[in-house]
Structure 1
Amino acid sequence: MRKKIFKRLALAATIGLAGTSIANVALANHAWGTYHWARTTPQFTLKLGNNLTTTAWSARLTQTASDWNAGNTPVLTAIVAGSTSARTCKMVAGTTQVCNASYGNNGWLGLASINLSGDHITQGTAKMNDTYFNTATYNNVNEREHVMCQEVAHTFGLGHQSEDGSSQNSCMDYFSNTGSNAGSTVSTKPNAHDFSVLNTIYAHLDSTTTVAATPGPVVAAAKGGVDVDISNDPASWGALMKQSANGRSSIYQRFNQDGSVTLTHVFWTNEAAANCPSCDHRRNFR
């Protein structure tokens, strides 16, 4: 399985570093990979565990869930009580746990991680870093919504429509709703292309499911002594597999002792990316 996943990410890296014609192909199908939640029905509901500590963030999660539920989508979302702490944001089987905290001056705005068993997503987390969102540069409704919308959707298996900073009027691009664009609502919601790709990702049914049952409470699953979570230490992300040309987007891969794989999408700040677009930005925050 390690070779299989490495090849997929290596292909993604090749696409990301290629010319304009290849970039347009990537835009046509911006799935993260072949990764998806296993499910036995055409439409399923993914629980989003609300571990958010402020009404400002809870409102953004509510808007995100509403926006993703509004389209022609196989992935419905339901906000439920969180089953972890905002600080640790540990994974819970069959769910995406959504968290915010002051995670530190480490260069990232948002972090989305998924745990994989083969091609199947088994659990995920979406984290927003208040160390930056509490500053004047990033503390506005539209930038918060852009990042929340994107990080949650990464845990569906969805990748970026664009990584060059242009707006595709989708939260799955890297337009920055900061500075003179702070009042702009572009790139804060999914668009029709996002829903089209989700329907492609989930075009087939599986014989089993990795999604927590609904309705009912979410109970944190025992880890069996194997830690698959991503901590606040960037070293826990594993190896850098792909980075956008402007340095704002990175994908990391880690192999776990239980045979599973954890992938992490990192949404870097403008400042971290500008410092050295081609560098693994973790080096600057150790």
Structure 2
Amino acid sequence: MRRWLLSVAALVAVTMVTTAIPAGASNSWNNYHWNRATSSTVLRLAILDSVTSTWDASLSQANADWNRSPVFENTVTASDTSTTTRRSCPASTGRVRACNYTYGQTGWRGLAQINLAGGHIAWGTTKVNDSYSWTSAARRHVMCQEIGHDYGLDHQFTNAGSCMDYAGIDDPAYVSPNTHDYNQLVSMYNHGHGTAAAASGPSTTAIVTGDTVTSVLWTD
């Protein structure tokens, strides 16, 4: 089993610079995706709600926004919200679990983790970090983005009003997916019984933009 993590972390000092991705470029996360029986099968995943009431509305809205894609008709399902569960955010095969907790000054506000099995995403988790202060727009932006990562989407760098963009964390114009995100999902999920791209070996990749670093980490 392979685990991948996608995190957003603010750095004090960054010297690396990357080139912005063109608006028409792919924001697929290495083509990782859930198994789909046919190209027309609608995926109906359970999104396990292990967040407290301060995050419920953001999770529900993120699910509704992503369900506008023809690929998904997912359902938010009440789950354990105990401190123990929210701290560890345990994975559940075939599902996505969302959790909030005071994870500490980690440098990230949101963390998405997926596990690959048989070439497809087997489960996903989303963590949002209560150790930082949040505006209403930031809650929606980060929850939407981390759930998007759990579906196999990477970031956009286009400043085009998407929650998958680095820009606009506190901007109400960046709290939901945009047309590019929906089109990307259709492209990624346009087949049945496909095989997601797999890493050839342990590796770590860091993408640095301004004062933000995105890390994709492979572990046993």
Question: Which bracket does the TM-score occupy, shorter chain normalised?
Answer: 0.7 to 0.9
**Counterpart position of 2:169:** 177
How much has 1:47 moved relative to structure 2?
1.2
**Counterpart position of 2:10:** none
Partner amino acid, structure 2, of 1:194: D
Distance of 2:17 and 2:95 partners within structure 1: 32
Contact 1:36 1:120 in 2 (8 A): yes
Distance of 2:143 and 2:89 partners within structure 1: 15
**Counterpart position of 1:167:** 159
How much has 1:118 moved relative to structure 2?
4.6
How much has 1:32 moved relative to structure 2?
0.5
Contact 1:114 1:125 in 2 (8 A): yes
Distance of 2:65 and 2:178 partners within structure 1: 9
Map 1:46-125 to 2 at 5 A. 46-53=45-52, 55-70=53-68, 72-82=69-79, 85-125=85-125
Specify the SS of the correspondent of 1:126. strand
Partner amino acid, structure 1, of 2:90: K
Distance of 2:210 and 2:109 partners within structure 1: 15
Q: Judging by fraction of residues, say which structure has more strand.
A: 2
Contact 2:18 2:208 in 1 (8 A): no
Specify the SS of the correspondent of 2:106. coil
Partner amino acid, structure 2, of 1:76: E
TM-score with structure 2 setting the length:
0.80
**Counterpart position of 2:146:** 151
TM-score with structure 1 setting the length:
0.63
**Counterpart position of 1:279:** none
Partner amino acid, structure 2, of 1:39: R
Q: Judging by fraction of residues, say which structure has more helix.
A: 1
How much has 1:148 moved relative to structure 2?
0.3
Specify the SS of the correspondent of 1:254. strand
- Pick closer, same or farther for the CA change 1:116–1:83 going to 2, 3 Å: farther
Which runs of no fewer than 5 residues in structure 1 stay unpaired?
A: 6-15, 179-183, 209-237, 257-286
How much has 1:239 moved relative to structure 2?
5.7
How much has 1:24 moved relative to structure 2?
1.7
Distance of 1:82 and 1:92 partners within structure 2: 11
Question: Rg bigger for which structure?
Answer: 1
Distance of 1:66 and 1:31 partners within structure 2: 21
Specify the SS of the correspondent of 1:60. helix
How much has 1:123 moved relative to structure 2?
0.6
Aligned residues: 197
Distance of 2:122 and 2:169 partners within structure 1: 32
How much has 1:250 moved relative to structure 2?
1.5
Partner amino acid, structure 2, of 1:243: I
Matched, 1:240 2:204: yes
Moved more, 57-66 or 84-93: 84-93
**Counterpart position of 1:227:** none
Contact 2:17 2:210 in 1 (8 A): no
How much has 1:248 moved relative to structure 2?
1.7
Greater RCO structure (CA 8 Å; 6+ sep): 2
Contact 2:43 2:73 in 1 (8 A): yes
Matched, 1:195 2:187: no
Partner amino acid, structure 1, of 2:48: G
**Counterpart position of 1:276:** none
How much has 1:17 moved relative to structure 2?
6.6
